[in-house]
Structure 1
Amino acid sequence: MAKVKVQRAREFMNLFRNYTIFIDGQKVGTIGNGQLIQLETSPGQHKISAKIDWCSSQEITFATEENVSKTFTVGGFKNAGFLFVAFVSTMVLHFLLNYFFGLNI
């Protein structure tokens, strides 16, 4: 059997949600935050994709060989952490300006 490894980076934005992994359109497993899963598949051409809630990745076509493993990495929007900090900072600044200085922006 050929092996497929799927690795997921640690993400704050999707901390409590799992990705569902599909190979050839069939659900083969789920992966949590920061996890690595190993799946077995037959040698040959396959398609892999991932889905989290309503968002999904594109299908990637790959070939596997007997006793050879392929590794894929799945993750969300790479700048999501920065955008989250920027959003919270803006909301805090808005609250402070409104509460302490009466500026209704």
Structure 2
Amino acid sequence: MGTLTIARQKKGWRDLLRAYCVEVNGEDVGKTRRGETFRVNLPAGSHSVCLKIDWCSSQTIEVDGDADTLLHCAPGGTALTALPDIMVFTDHYITLVRD
């Protein structure tokens, strides 16, 4: 069994007061707010991880449940780019990357 850790950066104004939903294999497993770190244990095997807010999301990252994984997330743009991001770039609204 491994641990998935998602560290949300404390950057920018966009989504300042909003939480990102953490989905593993399409199921909601928790939330992370600005500056917080979210942790969950994963069973062995491959898992898809994605963050969501309303109808927007991050890209999906595959992680191994047998290992500890650290991901970092942040808004995918600024408050000024929010309108085009929610209309066109909905699957990159949140940035999610491996450490």
| 1:44 aligned partner, one-letter code | G
- Displacement of 1:77: 2.3
- Displacement of 1:40: 0.7
Rounded Cα–Cα distance in structure 2 between residues aligned with 1:32 and 1:15: 8
CA-to-partner distance for each residue in 1:26-49, whole Å, 9 max, x for gaps? 100000111001101101111000
Other-structure match for 1:7? 7
Rounded Cα–Cα distance in structure 2 between residues aligned with 1:23 and 1:77: 20
Other-structure match for 1:70? 69
Higher Rg of the two aligned structures: 1
Q: Where in structure 1 do 4 or more consecutive aligned residues deviate above 2 Å?
A: none
Rounded Cα–Cα distance in structure 1 between residues aligned with 2:59 and 2:49: 8
TM-score, with normalisation over the residues of structure 2? 0.72
| 1:2 aligned partner, one-letter code | G
TM-score, with normalisation over the residues of structure 1? 0.68
Unaligned runs of 5+ in 2: 82-99
Rounded Cα–Cα distance in structure 2 between residues aligned with 1:59 and 1:77: 14
- Displacement of 1:53: 2.2
Matches within 5 A, 1:1-105: 1-11=1-11, 12-65=13-66, 68-78=67-77, 80=78, 83=80
Give aligned-pair identity as a percent.
Answer: 26
RMSD: 1.7
Size of the aligned set, in residue pairs, is 80
